[in-house]
Structure 1
């Protein structure tokens, strides 16, 4: 028999919450519609260990807390109260009397929904009753492990993909009607949504959160988000959420000094403060905070059927010194800068997620050189299954921004990544971070004339798509936006009316299909021998060539990063036979200059690049070629 503490709460649940092992604490913390002694109402439960008193206030008591004081039900500071004859839709907050006698009002940390900003109240909301129709997707997911299958992610900011007017956003359902067919047509396997937990400031893009369990009301209700995810799954598209467990914003109604003291953040301001972002770090040494965060990860998977989490700012979580001036540096008990509590939390997070949801994607957005980020925890790793390859991204964007005449002196920028490409399971991200704050759009990073910008972006995308690692592209980049991402407006869809942008859009769609169709590009993505250089040293001509291998097929990539046109360019090939180009980025249909037809290249017994056979072909300037044997797969 389960022993209860009060209002139907079990001693076991409270104990696990205090021990950092309550992985579904949203089932009893926060506001829940319940029946007590035959009467319907709402049970409110909150953690406020240093509070002198906690009261529930809302429209049902004219926001006067004296009527509804909560009971402290255990010595660790969990308060609870059942209020009869109220139900779904009620607005509420907690009125907390702090240890010094002050009175503050706070939103519920476990609220499932909240007022649309600038309102700050929580809303009593039931998440039950939605009838999911994604069983086919769930079965398919178990049969198609991400390591050995295509992973092609489209990153979306829900408030600017499309909008109806200034601050007149598409709802989750309206997004489903437009976004899902578009993503399916373009060939992406997953949508990654930038943070959709409740946040007060639009320009934080959701990275500074007040309601970690509340779906932001900007775009609709929890049930509408459920329908969005369900429709994605019914269309064969997975959903990844950008998740932010490293820090939270300082707004008065949020987690900061929640009971008048630092309970979610640490007491040491040097550790708690995130000066670069103006936020506060979670105190991963508190077991209740660990329960809060791991439960939050589980919540998105259980209640919303989310397929994966992109865990934001891992480097900032694990390094006590990151983005802090020397006077704010602190050290662990061993004298080092590693946040040992954060490292324990991350390992526990991944162990828990994969225990309950073994097919989940856990992607680390990590700019550090921490080893074994994607190794299992039992082997000393952090336990993620993928890591963003920030090094590749930074090197390649730096290289592509160079004038082609300068690239021969920086050849290492396109080859260095292969020295570590198989040290982790990587995703190659071209994300929102690279097209804001004066960094320019991907297209506008490219040097040269109008035509050369498009040619180089096509070349860059071709190399990106064939380099080892899974793929992520930020919305709008698929047609080559000229302007940076404008988070307050929708994407520049009108650019598709212009020939070059429309051709770029067609190119990316075709490239996506080529990636999905060619098993050599993903079947053995994490294995060293899936990649082989043909010629890595051709810095003088700024040309690289390599082979990608699957289980039973191989393909050849040739990329010319110079403005030179090589009329007869010879490369070694691994087998004799007739080869042909599956894609040439200089094709007129993609905005190039050549009307190309499928052409065969018969290999010759001429030793080249360490191979007994070689072929000769035309290599246009600033062009990417994808080549296969005649017997290989075709688009």
Structure 2
């Protein structure tokens, strides 16, 4: 490092401060294996700086990120409505709707040199808004050369509805209610330990229909709070024409889905969650867009390259969708404004960025198997503009909102994903540990319990980049979709229909499934990351899979729902799994292992099927053996003293067998054991986990 390169001091872990170069190569100070890629890191950072400076020196971030106050519909003090749209390919444009009887000549828009059309619609009567609330509206444009007239939904529209009795195509609605929701509760502080409840409003009723924001607020938020989750990741909020896309084919980026209610209803949901101390994240789709033309962004101004890349570069072959042109100033403005819109207008607390792998690489991850070779993360593989957008977005969000949370859904594990942008990182707070659920499903499908390798489990659960935070999970929505099964269903299958009643004998299949369900979740929670995620319903072992209404199932809602009724039935055994899940969250809240750094694993014995580790001043002991219990099993521990059981999966309140006395005192003895300075002895029954803490 030469003295001419500016540096900065960074505390990379408690008490450890390092000096980093301010040229984007700070990552190689943390990970020396990256030094051979310093030139690429410098180039990556210079692209970020160039775009960062362009924003600052033109509009400035404050105006650039509030595009919805310039574009779209904005009501003026006198009731006039200013409407603007960016459509550079169009020759003429008019605003049409119910309010002017769809007359293309009534409100002709003017165009500036940047391809922005605008019109100020004046009110017909004093004190009245020029466009009535609830009016249907569209922009109509004529094309160059052909003079063809096209009709589109406004790109910045904040509410769209679907009248299936008329057409499957969405209508844009001018949303300007007299009574708008007023937020009452402040945002919660960013959780030290993030425990995420991944939820979908539409499936949140036991009835075979689409549930609403109001129902979620009334019925589901109290369940989430009771279970001890401090964060909700809300799926499928951005409007999507195809319900079965799970919200990942977005058509209107500024419109909360009208399937579940109004924008005011969503605000109430977020505000109520905040009142319960719960952080709310939006499942954000900026990696691609639905290819719909009539009610999406595709061919918005008649060209194939308004918001997207032209030609094959602008199409995702696997997802059959359009890819944003992150190198465009106006497209970036649209997306950056979209981030701030959800933060400022709806009070979301952050985002889970979907499809990050597609954004970072030119191959979009299609048919590409990442091996961990650092060369895969640099050079021709990488989409520099996609990387730049992710860096700009994260840098801005964390500067503007100090408590914001951003999570990357990325299968590649790009180095620096969860390090600050000024180090050369992407700036996310967390990355989802996508290998963990794959491991559990593979083991349950392909291996007998006797063949489970404790070392392999520990390796997958702890295999993450140094100083980069991850969120561990056993199963997300991906593992619940039709064609796969939840973990509970993999283990108990058809017996969940016949043997989940307390009035029936506990069969070996149910006994095994309940025991392993608890253990798999606990070891993942405690060892798998700096955060934990659960998909709605899986906390109590929701049976079956998830399948949205579609042509292939006769548009049935049978599997597009959550069966809360089976949890609430006091005679059914699902309640035991729910109480165990609650026990995990509340115990973590007390001891804080998720934010305590990586665990020290002292034992991973394949013969005994025992895993022992310490984290957050808790001693975790797992016995995965299908039949063998161990008396006076010796385990190593760092701190001497008296230990007590703080959570026990064999407790009868969790449908265990009650083989361990929770009032037992465990006293340490000095002496090296498993490289720990003290040891104690426990009775650890088969298929049981115990959590001990010093009394």
- Aligned length, in residue pairs: 588
Report how far residue 627 of structure 1 moved: 1.1
Correspondence for 1:531 among 590, 595, 599: 599
Q: Which residue of 2 aligns with 1:435?
A: 480
Q: Which residue of 2 aligns with 1:491?
A: 562
Correspondence for 1:179 among 220, 234, 241: 220
Alignment check: 8 A CA contact 2:82 2:120 kept: yes
Correspondence for 1:386 among 422, 430, 440: 430
SS at match of 2:345: helix
SS at match of 1:589: helix
Q: Distance in 2 between matches of 1:197 and 1:423?
A: 32
Q: CA 1:252–1:125 in structure 2 vs 1: closer, same or farther (change >3 Å)?
A: same
Alignment check: 8 A CA contact 1:58 1:91 kept: yes
SS at match of 2:639: coil
Q: Deviations over 1:162-199 (max 9, x none)?
A: 165534x32x2232111221111111101111021111
Q: Distance in 2 between matches of 1:336 and 1:495?
A: 52
SS at match of 2:141: strand
Q: Distance in 2 between matches of 1:152 and 1:267?
A: 37
Q: Distance in 1 between matches of 2:298 and 2:64?
A: 22
Q: Deviations over 1:393-442 (max 9, x none)?
A: 3334433543211213x732432442426441111133101111322012
Correspondence for 2:634 among 566, 570, 576: 570
Q: CA 1:416–1:478 in structure 2 vs 1: closer, same or farther (change >3 Å)?
A: closer
Q: Distance in 1 between matches of 2:240 and 2:319?
A: 14
Q: What stretches of structure 1 move > 4 A for 4+ residues in a row?
A: 12-21, 323-326
Q: Distance in 2 between matches of 1:545 and 1:227?
A: 44
RMSD value over aligned CA atoms? 2.6
Alignment check: 8 A CA contact 1:563 1:622 kept: yes
Correspondence for 2:399 among 347, 351, 355: 355
Q: Which residue of 2 aligns with 1:121?
A: 171
Report how far residue 483 of structure 1 moved: 0.6
Q: Distance in 2 between matches of 1:264 and 1:628?
A: 59
Q: Distance in 2 between matches of 1:263 and 1:455?
A: 54
SS at match of 2:542: coil
- What aligned pairs does 1:24-423 form with structure 2 within 5 A after superposition? 24-35=66-77, 40-72=79-111, 74-85=112-123, 86-87=130-131, 88-99=133-144, 100-116=146-162, 118-126=168-176, 129-135=180-186, 138=187, 140-141=188-189, 145-146=190-191, 149-162=192-205, 165-167=208-210, 169-170=211-212, 172-253=213-294, 254-324=296-366, 336-401=380-445, 402-408=447-453, 411-420=455-464, 422-423=466-467
Q: Structure 2: give runs of 5+ residues left out of the alignment.
A: 1-53, 124-129, 369-375, 493-507, 549-556
1:514 lines up with 2:577 in the alignment = no
Alignment check: 8 A CA contact 1:20 1:291 kept: no
SS at match of 1:178: helix
Q: CA 1:379–1:199 in structure 2 vs 1: closer, same or farther (change >3 Å)?
A: same
Q: CA 1:108–1:588 in structure 2 vs 1: closer, same or farther (change >3 Å)?
A: same
Report how far residue 115 of structure 1 moved: 1.7
Q: Distance in 2 between matches of 1:19 and 1:456?
A: 50
Task: Give TM-score, length-normalised by structure 1.
Answer: 0.87
Q: Deviations over 1:107-155 (max 9, x none)?
A: 11101111235352211123884322123xx3x51xxx44xx2211111
Alignment check: 8 A CA contact 1:191 1:239 kept: yes
1:545 lines up with 2:622 in the alignment = no
Q: Distance in 2 between matches of 1:264 and 1:451?
A: 57
Q: Distance in 2 between matches of 1:96 and 1:163?
A: 45
Report how far residue 19 of structure 1 moved: 11
Q: Which residue of 1 aligns with 2:10?
A: none
Q: CA 1:475–1:19 in structure 2 vs 1: closer, same or farther (change >3 Å)?
A: closer
Q: Distance in 1 between matches of 2:402 and 2:148?
A: 46
Q: Distance in 2 between matches of 1:132 and 1:325?
A: 46
SS at match of 2:105: helix
Deviates more, 1:387-396 or 1:457-466: 387-396
Q: Which residue of 2 aligns with 1:482?
A: 543
Q: Deviations over 1:192-251 (max 9, x none)?
A: 110211111110121111110011111111111111111111111111110000111111
Q: Which residue of 2 aligns with 1:451?
A: 511
Q: Distance in 1 between matches of 2:61 and 2:185?
A: 35
Report how far residue 96 of structure 1 moved: 1.5
Alignment check: 8 A CA contact 1:109 1:255 kept: yes
Q: Which residue of 2 aligns with 1:329?
A: none
